[in-house]
Amino acid sequence: MGAKMVDFNGWDMPVEYPSVGGLMKEHIAVRTSVGVFDVSHMGDIRISGPQALEAVQHITMNDAAGMGIGQCRYSAMLYPEGTFVDDVIVHRLGEEDYMLVINAGTREKDVSWVTDNTRQFNCKVENLSDNYTQIAIQGPKGVDTLQKLTDADLSKVKFYWFTHGTVCGLKSILIARTGYTAEDGFEIYVPTDEETSARVWNEVLAAGKEFGIIPCGLGARNTLRLEGKLPLYGHEISDSINVWEAGLERFLKMEKGEFLGRDALQRAQENGIKRTLVGLESIDRGIPRDGYQVMDLDCKEIGYVTSGSYAPFLKKNIALAYVPIEQSEIGHELNVQCRSTPVKCKVVPTPFYKRPKKQA
């Protein structure tokens, strides 16, 4: 397909597809019609058995109790310090059957973490990462594209729910209404042999042709998720950042009972949170990028940018950054050191982009 490839944590991944116009075109396609991503590098861990729920509750921060079969919940696994092992999407597959979809870069670490921390529960842990090719079909026309390829009634699948159905002639394919683009769309999990994967990929492209579908790489994946303020491990969340600082407390259910990281988070809350993740938009000319220093208007260092870029849909330069709580008010002005130049930025509400509500 003529993709520009790059090494992403040991995976050979497409950054962008110049033949369709590259990153900007891919990004806009997802916002306005549909794009398709190969995200097979992501991992999948299945936890099943009589104490599967207890195990999931112990190792994740969101509440998995009361999840319906077919439901997904965004969550995270925490270290005892209340910091992040990884973020995950928990899928309830059955009565005693859950699947955690995890990041590519943290696959091995996560599998070890889950195995080591669920030994005390009567459950089975399986690493299914290599069993699936995961393809994401994202954008307002994503549902129309996939509907042409499946017998499942996608109109019945709500956002953050999944179903199983025949896709491209393959039976019992997991079809989840999830994604990492801040758009509507689906992720499908098909058998991993090359012939099948390639056939499905091509059928998705053919089905989406009338809507202007294009293949999308990691570059667009990053700019899309940044506009939607979706965290990236190693940037907004990591083993040195806690849940309060990252602003992810709406996925944290302290009241569910004991879980790894709970006590540390309790203490951290009582001691007061010192820094917080904010959204920035540049005022002066310059692009605030990952790792750049954040300074106050006197050029004293106060924090750093976790992710930053030109935003292709919003047509602005945006960033997420950790700053002291006292400097996090909307409208507050700061500087970001963009190589040799301090660039004035202001704190703005996030997410930077929210997809429009569907008209009835």
Partner 1 sequence: MAYPADYKYTKEHEWLKIDGSTGSVGITDYAQNSLGDIVFVELPKVGTEITAGKTFGSVESVKAVSDLFAPVSGTVSEVNEALNTAPEQVNKDANTTWMIKLKLKDAGEAGQLLSAADYEKFIAEEGAH
SS3 readout for 144-202: HHHHCCECCCHHHCCCCEEEEEEECCEEEEEEECCCCCCCCEEEEEEECCHHHHHHHHH
- 84 vs 234: CA distance, rounded Å: 9
Give the nearest distance from C-beta 234 to partner 1 in angstroms.
16
Q: Which is nearer to partner 1, 6 or 170 (CB)?
A: 6
- 292 vs 125: CA distance, rounded Å: 40
Give the nearest distance from C-beta 24 to partner 1 in angstroms.
5
Give the nearest distance from C-beta 21 to partner 1 in angstroms.
9
Q: Which is nearer to partner 1, 158 or 285 (CB)?
A: 285
Angle between helices 23-32 and 218-227 (to 10 degrees): 50
Interface residues with partner 1 (CB under 8 A) are 15-16, 18, 22-24, 219, 222-223, 285-287, 289, 309-310, 312, 339, 341
Q: Which is nearer to partner 1, 221 or 262 (CB)?
A: 221
Give the nearest distance from C-beta 331 to partner 1 in angstroms.
24
- 52 vs 332: CA distance, rounded Å: 46
Give the nearest distance from C-beta 341 to partner 1 in angstroms.
8
Q: Which is nearer to partner 1, 21 or 349 (CB)?
A: 21
End-to-end CA separation in angstroms for the chain: 38
The answer to whether 34 and 139 have CB atoms below 8 angstroms apart is yes
Residues 6+ away with beta carbon under 8 Å from 155: 143
- 232 vs 222: CA distance, rounded Å: 9
Give the nearest distance from C-beta 226 to partner 1 in angstroms.
10
Q: Which two tokens stand for residue 326?
A: 């006292």
353: helix, strand or coil: coil
Give the nearest distance from C-beta 284 to partner 1 in angstroms.
12
Q: Which is nearer to partner 1, 223 or 350 (CB)?
A: 223
Give the nearest distance from C-beta 287 to partner 1 in angstroms.
6
Give the nearest distance from C-beta 224 to partner 1 in angstroms.
11
Sheet strands side by side (includes 185-191): 162-167, 170-176, 185-191, 132-138, 35-38, 214-215
Residues 6+ away with beta carbon under 8 Å from 114: 45, 47, 59, 77, 100, 125
Nearest in space to 16 (alpha carbons), one of 312, 216, 226, 221: 216
The answer to whether 259 and 58 have CB atoms below 8 angstroms apart is yes
